[in-house]
């Protein structure tokens, strides 16, 4: 798997069936490395909802390429953009990617509009690869300042999956872990299995093995015993949305880790690009949390492990308040302690202006 994510998400042109967005189907990992060809926007929306492609930054890329796909096919771009943007409501990067390509399509002359949308998607892909590298460097610098030197290296705990599968480059939190390993500072990566869909067990361990990271898988509810035994030096997670006050929406199970980390005096670090920060969402309580199918918890068919008809609470994400976040690492630098003023200072700039303008176009 290349760090440029060529194998994870790519554009295929001049094919017999027309253009397509081609994904490494993450629902099939780790047993099978299979591509999923999305030749129209409904197919891509289905892949997004089924988590064949997932992770905040790469959802932004999928959204941008989806707009380009609609434009290349001569389909209704406006309708396609709306369908893509709503495919997963918590992940703000998806909307940003859609807006980026849609704005380019709108601004171009009719004959050039499809190429302009594809160019915007490719530009976003390259930007995300650079952001991954920058976050890895900033994160390693932060950990070096936060954590005491240990001869054996650091013991880092992560939740869900935040590697190259979720971005245009090496990832977010897992890119920082890899940088620590490359620098000879990683003793152990603790990997939460991440119920109910096991993104940690299926995906993070798959990437960790490929990168040669020393890692150990654990059940989510075993993390507390690691903290109690003094076996965790820092927690590193990603984010699907960060509100203006610094609250962090991430894969469900992240908030309990933040509480454990605070109780045990362990840094809790979030790694995410500035595109994940949503200045239009004022507080964590305003973040829309996606509720997913009950069968993800109860099982289906012969694999059912709960009584039929049981009531199920299955939020895809939870929200960690800013006072439990030690720092947010972005490609532009680190925010810590986390608050609205510091967050705005790092995220303000040309990118923030661009996103606000694109958002205005989306709502027009």
Residues annotated as catalytic (active site), given as ranges: 240
Q: Beta partners for 9?
A: 23
How many angstroms separate the CA atoms of 258 and 238, rounded?
A: 13
DSSP-assigned letters across all residues of 270-316 = EE--GGGEETT--SGGGSPPPB--THHHH--GGG--S-TT-----BS
Minimal CA–CA distance to 75: which of 96, 105, 108? 105
The strand pair at 186-192 and 154-158 is best described as: parallel
User: What does the alpha-carbon distance between residue 310 and residue 313 come to, in Å, rounded to a whole number?
Assistant: 10
Sheet containing 154-158: give its strands across: 215-218, 186-192, 154-158, 234-237, 268-271, 327-330, 333-335
- Give the residue from 151, 220, 139, 237 showing the smallest Cα distance to 180: 139
């Amino acid at each position: 798997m290349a760090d440029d994510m060529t194998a994870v998400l790519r554009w295929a042109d001049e094919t017999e069936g027309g253009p397509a967005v081609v994904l490494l189907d993450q629902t099939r990992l780790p047993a099978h490395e299979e591509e999923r060809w999305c030749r129209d926007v409904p197919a891509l929306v289905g892949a997004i909802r089924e988590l064949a492609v997932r992770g905040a930054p790469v959802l932004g890329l999928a959204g941008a390429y989806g707009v380009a796909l609609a434009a290349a096919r001569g389909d209704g771009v406006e309708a396609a953009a709306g369908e893509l943007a709503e495919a997963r409501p918590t992940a703000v990067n998806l909307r940003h990617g859609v807006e980026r390509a849609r704005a380019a399509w709108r601004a171009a002359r009719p004959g050039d509009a499809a190429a302009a949308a594809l160019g915007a998607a490719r530009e976003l892909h390259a930007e995300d690869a650079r952001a991954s590298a920058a976050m890895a460097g900033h994160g390693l610098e932060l950990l070096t300042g936060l954590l005491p030197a240990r001869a054996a290296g650091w013991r880092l705990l992560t939740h869900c999956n935040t590697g190259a599968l979720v971005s245009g480059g090496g990832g977010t939190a897992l890119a920082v872990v890899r940088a620590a390993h490359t620098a000879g500072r990683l003793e152990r990566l603790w990997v939460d299995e991440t119920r109910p869909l096991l993104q940690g067990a299926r995906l993070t361990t798959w990437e960790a093995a490929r990168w040669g990271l020393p890692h150990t898988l654990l059940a989510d509810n075993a993390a507390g015993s690691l903290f109690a035994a003094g076996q965790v030096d820092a927690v590193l997670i990603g984010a699907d949305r960060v509100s203006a006050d610094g609250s962090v929406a991430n894969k469900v199970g992240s908030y309990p880790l933040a509480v454990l980390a605070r109780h045990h005096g362990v840094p809790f670090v979030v790694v995410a690009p500035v595109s994940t920060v949503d200045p239009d969402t004022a507080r964590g309580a305003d973040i829309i949390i996606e509720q997913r199918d009950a069968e993800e918890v109860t099982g289906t068919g012969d694999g059912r492990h709960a009584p039929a008809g049981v009531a199920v609470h299955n939020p895809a994400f939870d929200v960690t308040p800013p006072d439990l976040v030690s720092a947010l690492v972005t490609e532009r630098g680190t925010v810590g302690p986390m608050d609205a003023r510091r967050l705005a200072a790092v995220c303000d700039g040309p990118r923030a202006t661009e996103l606000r303008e694109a958002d205005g176009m989306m709502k027009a």
